[in-house]
Each structure stands twice: as C-alpha cells, then as structure tokens.
Structure 1
Amino acid sequence: MEDDGSTGAEAGIRGLDLGEEWKASHEALAFMSDIEPAELLKCTFPDSLVTVSEGGRDLGRFTVTVEVARRVQQPCMLLHAQSQGAINDSPCGTTVTAYLTTDLEVLEEDYHEYVKLEGHSLDRRCHMVQRDGQMLIDKVTTVGEETTTESVSHPMSVLSGLVTEGSSLLLMRLIALRKTVPEHMTFISLDQGLRIIRTTFSELAPKQMEVGDETVEVFGVERIVYSVEDGPTTWQCYFLADGHMASRVQEELKADNALYLRQHPEIRALMSDFLQFLLLRKPEDVFQFAREYFLPFASRRPPAPSLEAPPH
C-alpha cells in the first residue's frame, strides 16, 4: 500500500466546508476523562435487538457485547458488535471489534461492512491501530471486481475526542446509565474517505415503550454523524434503566439514499467532474452552463416515451 500519511492527515484535520479544523468540545473531552472504572464494569453485558427503520420496517438484527480484556498486557475494554439485515431486499451487514482504553481511546479497531447487490456488491474493511504516537489506518474497498486500498496516518495529538463506530456504542451505553447528556457534546470521527469530521450526541425527550407486558419509560440518545460524502446520518437509540438498548432507529430515507449511491458509484465521479469544471470556468449563468455540460449525456440515454396523445 502507498503511504499517504501526511497528505491524509492534513486533508482530514480540516473540515471541507470552510477549511476549519474540527475539534472535540470541552464538554465531550471532560465526559471521556471523567469515566470511572466502576461505570465501565456496569457496561459489561451482552445486548441484542431487532433493528427497525423510522417507518417501522424490520431491517435485521443487531448484537453487541462488552467485556474487560487485555491487549499487549494493557487492561482495556473489548467491544464486539454485529448487525445483519437487508435494505431494499439487498443483504447487508457490519461487524466491528474494538479495543478501548478506560477513557474510550481507541487502541485498535476492525470494521467490516458489506452490501450484496445483484451483479454489483460492495465490501469495505477498515483497520486502525495506535503505534508510536500515530493512528495508522488501512482501508480496503471492493466494488464489484474492482479493489482499492488506502493508507492514512493521523498523529494522536489531533485525535483527542475521537469516536469510532465501536467506541460510540460504549459511549452511548455510559450516557444511558448516567441518564443525562451534557450540552455541546461534539466529538470528532472519521468518514468513509478517512477524513476527520464531527459527530454529536444529544438527549431525546423521554418516552414510553412497550417492553414485554409492561410499559416503561426509556432514555433516548441521538447521534448525528456529519459525513462529507453522504451528508448527515442520524441514529436514535433508546435505553432501559439498566443500560440495555430498547430500540435503535436510523433515518430510513438516508439509508436508502446511501444504498443508492453505493449501487451507483459513478454518480460521485460525475458530480465531482462537473463541480471541478464549474469552479474552473466560473460561469455567470450556472443553469445554462449545467445544461450544456450534461447535454451530451442525454444523447446516450434511450429515447423517452412520447407524451403526445396516440392518434385516434
């Protein structure tokens, strides 16, 4: 693999919108530094539930386990989570295994995601590990028959308050046991392009849920991941008093949109080329420029059905 460490770090540290640097908030850093070992011990239990969309559609099954472990003779927390299901009848799933310090710093994490589409499948694997003051990240993506690899390194000094797919699950379990979310809980995370982005956690209004034969009040946490490529993705999780998850809901429209983009990777390439050409030319009439740019693509499409009324 080619080592694009310095370039990747510089690109990742800066938010792509305005060139600003994303950093975790003081409240987020304080939350992580104040975690007590006794709290973590209360989080060591298995959990499972059925994952549903906002519309109530069954998306599959989700399981997560947390236990105390050791990695290279260092005491740590070991988290393993797995989800399996289908979106638009296409099998998909994710698996994450993470070794975390007692303040949720990532020592090592493996992430695997797949979507099996007819004639066009996606498989994405990402491994990150701390070594010599750096977070080394290797990513392998297979789309159909094409495989691409990426290698990036970030200095740990810029990753304070990093929350990954693995550590976010333990973080929400801790929040649920405390039954409160401090204001301004903004952390940093990594998007699919391995760039540093922001992710926020906030408290949802309490609500009643049917659990077995009982009606109980559950505590809700909302996580928003501000991805550059796919836009914001929102997860809403509700927890029972003992920290077990009662429900986990992802925006249905966002999931469908993300799946469509995975099915058609040419969309991002097409839009990227258009935006680069647009910024190069800087036309006064953007609409006319767009019409002329995309006109050749229209000629490649099969003729559209006629809208004229058939002759009588």
Structure 2
Amino acid sequence: MSFKLPSTGLRAKELRPPSTQKESKPLPTANAEAIDFLRSLQPKQLELLLFSETLAMVSDTGEPLGELTVDVQKGQYRDDLSVSAFYLQVHAFSRSSLDNMRCGNSILGHITGEMETLEQHSQEFIKFLVLPMERKTKLVRVDNQLDVTRMVKEGEEVKTEVTSFPWNSTAGFLSEAANLVMLRVMAWRQMVPSNARFLALDTEGKLCYATYQALGFQTFQMGRQQAEVFIIEQTVHSEEGIPMSCQYYLLPDGHLAKRVQVGSPGCCIITKMPILREEDEIEPPPVFEKKPLEWEEDMQLLTRFLKRKEELRLSHASYLRHHPEASALISDFLLFLLLRQPADVITFAAEYFGPFSVHSLPTPALRSSHRPSPFRPQPLEGTFSQAFPEED
C-alpha cells in the first residue's frame, strides 16, 4: 500500500493553511443520472438498511487473515450551530495480519438521507517492521465548502494537506461511508442506475469520477445454504493513477456476502448465512360488510323484545287505571274531531287543548272574530288589546 502526497511535506503538528484546490482545469461533476438516483431515495427504504454485519477476511488459499465489520444506524448530528438533525451513522472497521504485519482501517461517517456527507473520519495503517505507515483523512462540511484534511505518517515524519471544495461542486459526491449505504440500496432495488457518474475521492484526496456496473446474478453457496446474490462493481477513476475496482456480492436485503478488491490477494466473505430481511407488507384494514339485523330470527333478541313489550303494556294499563280522566279526555277529543272534521287537524288539536294549559289567559266575555293563533304567544295583561277587546 502506497501513499502519495506532494514532495514538500511538513513535520508533525505543522499544518499547511487551508487552501482551495488549484483548478488548472474544471472540477469533475456528477451527471444527471447520478443526482436523480440520489434524489429518489426514500426515508422508509433507508430504514430497512439499518443493521450490522461481519465478514471474515481470507487469503486466496482460504487462510483466515482477519475480519470486516460494517454497521449502519440512525442517530442525530449536531453541527457547529448546535442544530440537531437526523442522519445515518456508518461505522466500518477491519483488522488483519499479512506476512506477520498487522494492518487495518476504519471509517466513521455521518451522512444525510440524500447521501450527503456531513463528516467522515477514516484511518489506515500498516505496521511495517522498519517504517510503519499511517494515513488519516477527515471530511467535514464547513459553511459552504467541503474541507478534506489528509495526514500521512511514515515513521516519525508527518505530512499534512488540507483541500477545500465548494459545496455546490460536490453534488453527487459519495464518500466511503455513503458508498456502503448506496450498495445496500442497489441490492434492495436489484438494479444499478444506468450510465450514472458519481463523484468520489481518489487516494490523493482529489475529486474524480466513480461508476457502478451490474455484473448480473449468481448463486452463492454457504455450507448447505444457498442464495442468489447481485454482483456490483464499483470503480474509482483517478485522473492521475490507475482505476481501482471492487466487486460486491450482495444478498437481496443488502447484506454483503462477499467483497473482492481487484488485484488484492484475498477477499472478505460471510461465515454464516444471515436471516434475510423482508420489507413489511402493510395489509389493508379489514372491511366488514353491513348485514341486515334479522332480530326476529335471533332467539335472544326476540325474547328481550317480547319481554319489554309486555312490560310497557302492563305499565300503560296501570297508568290508565289510576288516571281514568286521561281516557275520557282522549275519547272526548276524538268524538269532537270526528264531528267537526277540520281540514287542519293540528291547529284544531292546539285550540282544543289550549285552555288546559296553565299559561293560558282567561277567555274574554266578548270574543273577537279575529281569534289569535294558538301557536302565537298571548299578549301580556294591561295591553291595549285587552283593555278594549274588539266586539264580534
């Protein structure tokens, strides 16, 4: 593993002042297909990708070298303005031993639902016996720009470089943390955006193109279990070095079954088939049809009806026995109604029963031919109409 930086370096704790990358030529830009794919991401779909997985690192001969762990969770991010927002936290790390030399790398990134990187810290190291090497990279969004700080340590010598990119020029940029989530998204969708050209950082910390290519499906065997995997190849096209490609064998729910870096002597592979996650299907609420109530055929309802009917009949009969004047009053009214046979039965009934009201006024000796309606309030005592009633 080699780390290339400008020949003029700085000693430890000596930082080069932040500077914007010299633009001898325009910065690369992502195309519309890549940006549209990022905009199509839905929060509900991303919530299905929150899980942790561990793969074993093995050599070409099957010798165990170490392990790789990738964890994606949901949390909150607090920026310099103390404003909290939801984000995805991606943590990946690996430890291995090659030719009795320990090496490893780790990534901790905070990204938004549109795969924008708010902050990322990455570290790589190789414990050479003579000259140990370590590389650290920090990405952080500050105001309207993306600052990239790269530190390379060879033995006791430290070289540091700070580069800034305008934030509007990073549309479609995928950091290493965002790439791990994007692979799970493509596995769920079982497709790769056609002709999409994203942005990434090469090993020198410069913006370059990154592309994804679908290599088809393949049956993956793990012990007695087998599953169909979707193969995706990611290629980072460095403008100064050779392209770097990595192939990912993904299960339908986004779990990584195998990872092969082109040109590497080993690979990462799962040791146990995970339980595949499935998207929850929301069933529509049940619809209960309204059925007619045939209570006469229900013995319980019919018994209650007959019982209540008998209770009311006995109650009514008892009341009429204790109040015979009610039957006489109703009989007189019906007889009077049949004799007169008025056209307006309601008004006739109001006039008939009106004198029985406790609020009715006494009938004057000389009644007017223009009798007031029984539905209008009577004038108060002492009014002009009562003092001088009209003659018939």
TM-score, normalization: structure 2?
A: 0.60
After superposition, the Cα gap between the structure-2 partners of 1:146 and 1:156, relative to the gap in structure 1 and judged at 3 Å, is same
Q: Secondary structure at the match of 1:161?
A: coil
| 1:196 matched residue in structure 2 | 207
2:161 is the counterpart of 1:147? no
Q: In 1, Cα distance between the equivalents of 2:197 and 2:60?
A: 24
Q: Shift in Å at residue 211 of structure 1?
A: 2.4
Q: Secondary structure at the match of 2:23?
A: helix
2:230 is the counterpart of 1:219? yes
Q: In 1, Cα distance between the equivalents of 2:66 and 2:76?
A: 31
After superposition, the Cα gap between the structure-2 partners of 1:154 and 1:238, relative to the gap in structure 1 and judged at 3 Å, is same
2:37 is the counterpart of 1:24? no
Q: In 2, Cα distance between the equivalents of 1:213 and 1:99?
A: 38
Q: In 1, Cα distance between the equivalents of 2:160 and 2:127?
A: 20
**Partner of residue 2 from structure 1, selected from 1, 16, 28:** 16
Equivalent residue runs for 1:132-281 within 5 Å: 132-228=143-239, 230-253=241-264
The percent identity for this pair of structures is 29
| 1:84 matched residue in structure 2 | 95
Q: In 2, Cα distance between the equivalents of 1:196 and 1:175?
A: 23
Q: In 1, Cα distance between the equivalents of 2:75 and 2:152?
A: 30
Q: Secondary structure at the match of 1:252?
A: coil
Deviations 1:153-182 (A, max 9, x none): 111111111111111101111111111112
User: Quick one: which amino acid aligns to residue 24 of structure 1?
Assistant: A
Q: Which structure: larger Rg?
A: 2
Q: In 1, Cα distance between the equivalents of 2:189 and 2:68?
A: 23
**Partner of residue 47 from structure 1, selected from 48, 53, 57:** 53
Q: In 2, Cα distance between the equivalents of 1:57 and 1:219?
A: 26
Q: Shift in Å at residue 229 of structure 1?
A: 5.1
Residue correspondences, number: 247
Q: Secondary structure at the match of 1:49?
A: strand
After superposition, the Cα gap between the structure-2 partners of 1:119 and 1:236, relative to the gap in structure 1 and judged at 3 Å, is same
2:128 is the counterpart of 1:128? no
Higher relative contact order (CA 8 A, sep 6+): 1
After superposition, the Cα gap between the structure-2 partners of 1:160 and 1:9, relative to the gap in structure 1 and judged at 3 Å, is farther
| 1:98 matched residue in structure 2 | 109
After superposition, the Cα gap between the structure-2 partners of 1:190 and 1:238, relative to the gap in structure 1 and judged at 3 Å, is same
Q: Shift in Å at residue 89 of structure 1?
A: 4.0
Q: In 1, Cα distance between the equivalents of 2:17 and 2:194?
A: 38
Q: Shift in Å at residue 58 of structure 1?
A: 4.6
Q: Shift in Å at residue 88 of structure 1?
A: 4.2
Deviations 1:42-93 (A, max 9, x none): 0100011123467766553111111111101011110000112134443211
User: Quick one: which amino acid aligns to residue 70 of structure 1?
Assistant: Q
Q: In 2, Cα distance between the equivalents of 1:27 and 1:93?
A: 34
Q: In 2, Cα distance between the equivalents of 1:213 and 1:61?
A: 22
Q: Shift in Å at residue 228 of structure 1?
A: 4.2
User: Quick one: which amino acid aligns to residue 128 of structure 1?
Assistant: L
Q: Shift in Å at residue 230 of structure 1?
A: 4.4
Deviations 1:103-152 (A, max 9, x none): 00000000111111111111011111111111112221101221111111
Higher strand share: 1
Q: Shift in Å at residue 221 of structure 1?
A: 0.9
Query: Do the aligned partners of 1:52 and 1:250 also contact (CA within 8 Å) in 2?
Result: no
Q: In 2, Cα distance between the equivalents of 1:88 and 1:230?
A: 26
After superposition, the Cα gap between the structure-2 partners of 1:55 and 1:133, relative to the gap in structure 1 and judged at 3 Å, is farther
TM-score, normalization: structure 1?
A: 0.74
Structure 1 gaps of 5+ residues are 15-19, 256-312
Query: Do the aligned partners of 1:45 and 1:66 also contact (CA within 8 Å) in 2?
Result: yes
| 2:332 matched residue in structure 1 | none
